[in-house]
Chain A
Amino acid sequence: NAGVTQTPKFRVLKTGQSMTLLCAQDMNHEYMYWYRQDPGMGLRLIHYSVGEGTTAKGEVPDGYNVSRLKKQNFLLGLESAAPSQTSVYFCASGKDRDQPRNEKLFFGSGTQLSVL
Chain B
Amino acid sequence: RKEVEQDPGPFNVPEGATVAFNCTYSNSASQSFFWYRQDCRKEPKLLMSVYSSGNEDGRFTAQLNRASQYISLLIRDSKLSDSATYLCVVNSFNTNAGKSTFGDGTTLTVKP
Provide the main secondary structure of the chain A interface.
strand
Cross-chain contact of A42 among B41, B45, B49, B87 (Cβ < 8 A): B87
Which of chain B's residues has its CB closest to A91's CB?
Answer: B43
Q: Which of B11-19, B52-60, B75-83, B99-107 makes up part of the contact surface? A: B99-107
Contact present for B97 and A50 (CB under 8 Å): yes
Which of A33, A43, A88, A94 has the most chain B CB atoms closer than 10 A to its own CB? A43
Which residues of A11-53 have CB atoms within 8 Å of chain B's CB atoms?
Answer: 31, 33, 35, 40-45, 48, 50
Docked pose: A40 CA to B34 CA in angstroms: 20
Q: Which of A64-72, A75-83, A101-109 makes up part of the contact surface? A: A101-109
Given known contacts A42-B87, A90-B43, A90-B44, A105 and B103 CB-to-CB distance under 8 angstroms: no
Range for the number of chain B residues in contact with chain A: 20 to 34
Contacts of A58 in B (CB 8 A): 99
Contacts of A108 in B (CB 8 A): 43
Given known contacts A42-B102, A43-B102, A104-B34, A50 and B43 CB-to-CB distance under 8 angstroms: no
Residue A56 interfacial (CB < 8 Å): yes
Contact present for B97 and A43 (CB under 8 Å): no
Contacts of A92 in B (CB 8 A): 100
Docked pose: A53 CA to B84 CA in angstroms: 37
Contact present for A110 and B97 (CB under 8 Å): no
